[in-house]
Amino acid sequence: MIQLAIDLPRSTALGRSDFMVSGSNIAAVERIDRWPEWSSAVLMLHGPPGSGKTHLAHLWQERASALIIAGGTLTEAALPHLLDKVPPRVAIDDADRAPEHALLHLYNSCVEHRGSLLITAYQPVGSWRVGLDDLRSRLRASPVIEIGAPDDALLGAVLIKHFADRQLRVEPEVIAYLLKRIDRSFAAAAKIAAHLDGAALSNGGPVTIPLARKVLADFGCQFLSPRSDSAVT
């Protein structure tokens, strides 16, 4: 079994040219590009992990000169800073992790002062556990766009981006090999890229089909696709 190297810090490219557009995300991209001509002060995006929600939030942050905060770090104490600019423009990533009272205050302030609020989350708001009735009703009344599962073209582009973020150049035949064998999900693409990065570092060589075959055999239960045979070949 391959002994993986320590995962080193890496930089994730979040520029516009680094974002891949396909049928699964084009509605979200077009709505981001339409700002400030939004029909509502609030826009909600939801989709699976690694689907590009955070990337889109950063693109909107740049477009709108907005502030961005992770839902898990939102506090009442942070609100004066987030709402200092009038009209406020704020993106909250993984908003389903935000404290409810702080999120409600942020929501109301953005609407009241004719600002803009971009909310991203893993699940649609109907699946959130929201205790505050006012917050639940406001979120459910907000425009929402779902980012769907990727097709093979997008998943291949996502794989290439994950490898590029890790400063790895991977040949097209390796990408094609992986696409036939991993689950059609952004999370699987991120995991296989991380495992192959570590394996390549340990071996001191490039990412190849034999290396991919080895990693899939060792860790395949994490990202095997129902489209592939049970045996990794």
Q: Is the peptide bond before 36 cis (omega within 30 degrees of 0)?
A: yes
**Residue 212 is assigned to a structural domain of this protein:** yes
Tokens of 11: 């930089």
Q: Give tens-digit pLDDT for 34-78.
A: 999 999 999 999 998 878 899 999 999 999 999 999 999 999 999
Tokens of 5: 């190297």
- Is 86 found in the same domain as 44? yes
Dist. CA 87–CA 113, nearest whole Å: 6
**Residue 200 is assigned to a structural domain of this protein:** yes
**Residue 173 is assigned to a structural domain of this protein:** yes
Torsion of CA 158, 163, 169, 171, to 10 degrees: -50
Dist. CA 82–CA 61, nearest whole Å: 13
Provide the domain count of the chain: 2
Report the predicted TM-score, pTM, of the whole model to 2 decimal places: 0.75
Residue 13 or residue 187, greater confidence: 187
Rg (CA), the chain: 20
- Is 134 found in the same domain as 199? no
Neighbours of 176 (CB within 10 A): 12
**Residue 199 is assigned to a structural domain of this protein:** yes
pLDDT value of residue 147: 93
Task: Give the 3-state secondary structure of residue 187.
Answer: helix
In the predicted model, what is the mean pLDDT of residues 17-45?
A: 91
183: containing domain: 152-222
Neighbours of 162 (CB within 10 A): 23
- Is 139 found in the same domain as 156? no
112: CB partners within 8 A, 6+ apart: none
